[in-house]
Structure 1
Amino acid sequence: MAHSVKLRDYLIPNPATVKPGDSVLDAMQIIINNKISGVCVVDDQHNLVGILSELDCLNASLGSLYNDSGIGLVRDHMADSGLIVAHPEEDIIDVAQDMLAKTKRRRPVVENGRLIGQVTCRQLLKAIAQFQR
């Protein structure tokens, strides 16, 4: 049986997002409620501007406790440079190999500058399991 190898067929559409001006506490609640390891950060036009991971939130939390300060905004703790994104027409095997090489558990999927989804290790495992059948 033939299977698609295009990322478009395996991505999570409409992943959880936050805005740069949102509180890290609000972002943490989204991460906890959705049982995910991070969120995509988008602007008002839904362009990807960063990624906020659980580790970023933990770092912000511990820093605020240590410094006896507020936890801050997403923009203060998100990764926003050197973001690696995927295109929906990319081959899932190529994306999986690159995610392994860069030790990243998730990759935003962008089309025409806008975030349209995200692929995670779990989606890639599901695709591989399908191929094995």
Structure 2
Amino acid sequence: MGIINFQGKRDTSIPKSSENILVSDYMTTKLITFRPDQSVEEVIETLIKNRISGGPVVNENNELIGIISEGDCIKHISESKYYNMPMDNNHTVEKNMVSNVETIDKNMNIFDAASKFISSKRRRFPILDNGKLVGQISQKDILKAALNMKGNSWK
């Protein structure tokens, strides 16, 4: 008795377009950004109101200068409480943001971006074009791309 293949006949008519799926196809371009002179309290209110976990910090020329996240805000709150200091508006985004920011190229393959997420443990990457912030890609955007691919080529 021979081996029976339970998969059935393979459909070769589906084009393999996974190499053409770019970060720019799934990145978010309508971003909530922060300014370096904003207070941490304003950031916290914006994060809660918009149900986001962080965002890019840009200067007046829309150039990326940092990222501020929920974790950065929590760190600020806990340090204020530890030293028994009030959380006032003198504590700005610039003093609490991460300024060494990794970015992703908008022409990067979506799977290479997914790999970068895994290796870096980041939740989002800003996307620059000629030094200007043009978008952001998050882990959720990668998941959306995977679901769209599932509809096209996965069984």
In structure 2, C-alpha distance between the alignment counterparts of 1:14 and 1:116, rounded to whole Å? 9
Q: Does 1:76 align with 2:92?
A: no
Cα offsets for 1:68-103 (capped at 9, x unmatched): 14351101110002x110121111111110111010
Residue 112 of structure 1 corresponds to 130
In structure 2, distance between residues paired with 1:76 and 1:70: 13
Matches within 5 A, 1:42-61: 42-61=58-77
1:106-125 Cα offsets, whole Å, 9 max, x none, are 11111110111110111100
Matched pairs, number: 132
Runs of at least 4 residues of structure 1 off by over 6 A?
A: none
Determine what percentage of the aligned residue pairs are the same residue: 29
In structure 2, the residue matched to 1:29 is: 45
In the alignment, structure 1 residue 40 sits paired with structure 2 residue 56: yes
Cα RMSD (Å) of the superposition?
A: 1.3
Q: Within 5 Å, give how 1:93-112 maps onto structure 2.
A: 93-112=111-130
Which stretches in structure 1 are left out of the alignment for 5+ residues? none
Name the counterpart of 2:3: none
Pair member with larger Rg: 2
- The separation in 2 between residues aligned to 1:91 and 1:76, in whole angstroms, is 34
More strand, by proportion: 1
